[in-house]
Structure 1
Amino acid sequence: MKRFLLMLTFFTRLPVPYPFEFKSEDFEKGVKYTPFVGVVIGMLMWGFASLLSGIDKSVYSLLVLAFYIWISGGLHIDGVADSVDGIFSGRNRERVLEIMKDSNVGTFGSIAIFMLLLSNLVMFYHMEPTYLLTMAVAGRSCVIIVCYFNEYAREEGMGKSFVDNSNGLELILALTVFTGTAAWLHGPKYAVAAMLTIAAALGVARKVKSVLGGITGDTHGLVIEFSQTMFLVIAYLTGFYV
């Protein structure tokens, strides 16, 4: 429980009480709980969205998005901007890593954030609230899967713990929680949508690796946000065409 609460405080702004001290070992061994943090975030989003039933859908979408940004602290959205600014700068590896550490947001990062938020607004408008739960699970499961298959591009950093501690157990948990949630809430065919989302996330990681030689804490945020939105898009198309 202590390690799960640690992950919850890391990934959210929830006022979680913890009457004990954390050690570095707790963070390392808490990585496996990351998909379950997605479950908590998703349930809160689902509950919040359900309270808004009956209001105008445009206002509903905006409020749900605002709630998500609040609960996540915008942590991963910042990673999207930093990652895209660096990767699409066309510079060498060392310069890209420097750009990603710069707190200023460039043109590519601004465009990426705009497209991300716009995409989420549109998908929230069209999707049932249950998909908000699976969306949050998608992001936090895919980042563990990506970490399992990749190396860390820097010598140190908070994100390194996820790469170093995403092993076989963490991979199995992430795959099971994501595909299981999708199939249970939406039907068996949505487990396929989950697998397609994972493939897309691994594709993004491959692009990042081709530039950096690995992944970083910022690209963890990129993977989380990309996977969430991509799942909603794939799920929508699955429901429409399949």
Structure 2
Amino acid sequence: MKNALFGVLLTLQFLTRIPIPIAAPWTPDTRRWAVRAYPLVGLMIGSVLALTVFAMHNVPTPITALAVLSVWVALSGGLHLDGVMDIADALGSNQPLARRWEIMKDPQIGSFGMLALVFLLAWKAVLVWALLTYQAPLWWLLVVPALGRWAGVALLVLTPCAKQQGMAWSWQQSLSGQDVALALVPLALIALLAPAVVVLMLTVTVFVVLMRWLMLRLFNGINGDMVGATIEGGELWLLILLWSWWQFATVSPLGI
């Protein structure tokens, strides 16, 4: 039980900017529990986003959408956005593999990274605006951050690291497919109340498979940046899917 609690604290420290004044031990057991808690922390973030919407129910929808996205980014400290920018710079360079890895390590952000950041945030803001306009049930705000973080867990556990060094490789040494399955438990409970969550789980699994294939093809493996980019990309993927349902389905068979 103590390892599970420390694992949750590690995840909060790693994935959010919430101050946790406790030094959690860095052991194989706490790392396993930390990874299992990724979606749980995503649900916590989603709860704050839903509360933001409730608190701003009399505010124009575009402003509410921008506030939700601002809180979303602030809670994570932009950690995963850095991975998106690094990968965009590396791929935009059209350089050989070794040079792409050097570009990813460069702390400076290039033009491709900035463009990726702008378009990612713009798309997320517009999609949140659209979903709020459609008055979609707010469970989607809970599920999207949670499933996005599960996507990062799945990529981390199921894809070999390109190099035997770094944070991602350190985490991998303690993990197995069982941890990926256990991380889904909180979302499985939500699926009992909102069956559409099952469909979202399947679609984000497809996204992870695609990301795994791309990262192996383009980089011969993953690192921490790619895990972060998968979290951001998974969230965007789910927002697009949810928007599609509400935009085009006159009668939803999924009970959304």
The reply on whether 1:204 has 2:211 as its aligned counterpart is yes
Q: How does 1:1-242 map to 2 (within 5 A)?
A: 1-18=5-22, 20-25=23-28, 27-29=30-32, 30-127=34-131, 128=136, 129-178=138-187, 180-181=189-190, 183-184=191-192, 187-239=194-246, 240-241=248-249, 242=252
What letter is aligned with 1:233? I
Q: Do the aligned partners of 1:32 and 1:166 also contact (CA within 8 Å) in 2?
A: no
Q: Kindly indicate whether the alpha-carbon contact (under 8 Å) linking 2:35 and 2:183 is maintained by their aligned counterparts in 1.
A: no
Cα distance in 2 for partners of 1:26, 1:226 equals 28
Gaps of 5+ in 1: none
Asked whether the 8 Å contact 1:76–1:225 carries over to 2, the reply is yes
Does the C-alpha gap of structure 1 residues 55 and 171 become closer, same or farther in structure 2, counting only changes over 3 Å? same
- Asked if the contact 1:138–1:194 (Cα under 8 Å) also holds between the matched residues in 2, the reply is yes
SS at the partner of 1:60?
helix
Q: Is the 8 A contact 2:39 2:184 kept in 1?
A: no
Residues in 2 aligned to 1:154 and 1:102: alpha-carbon distance in whole angstroms: 17
Q: How many residues in Structure 1 have an aligned counterpart in Structure 2?
A: 239
CA distance in 2, matches of 1:26, 1:73: 26
| 8 Å Cα contact 1:197-1:234 kept in structure 2 | no
Identity of counterpart residues, as a percentage? 28
Question: Structure 1's 200 and 59: CA in aligned 2 closer, same or farther, altered over 3 A?
Answer: same
Q: Is the 8 A contact 2:167 2:224 kept in 1?
A: yes
CA radius of gyration, larger in = 2
Q: Distance in 2 between matches of 1:158 and 1:27?
A: 15
Aligned in 2, Cα 1:82/1:179: closer, same or farther, shift over 3 Å? farther
How big is the shift at 1:59?
0.6
Q: CA deviation at 1:227?
A: 0.2
- Counterparts of 2:146 and 2:42, CA distance in 1: 4
Distance in 1 (alpha carbons) for counterparts of 2:242 and 2:175: 27
Question: Post-superposition shift, 1:168?
Answer: 2.3
Matches of 1:166 and 1:6 in 2, distance apart? 15
CA contact (8 A) 2:10 2:24 kept: no
TM-score by length of 1: 0.90
Deviation at 1:180, TM superposition (A): 4.8
Q: Distance in 1 between matches of 2:111 and 2:73?
A: 21
SS at match of 1:121: helix
Q: Over residues 174-221 of structure 1, what are the superposed CA-to-partner deviations in whole Å (9 max), with x where a residue is unaligned?
A: 34444553x345x32342133112212321231111111111111111
CA distance in 2, matches of 1:36, 1:27: 15
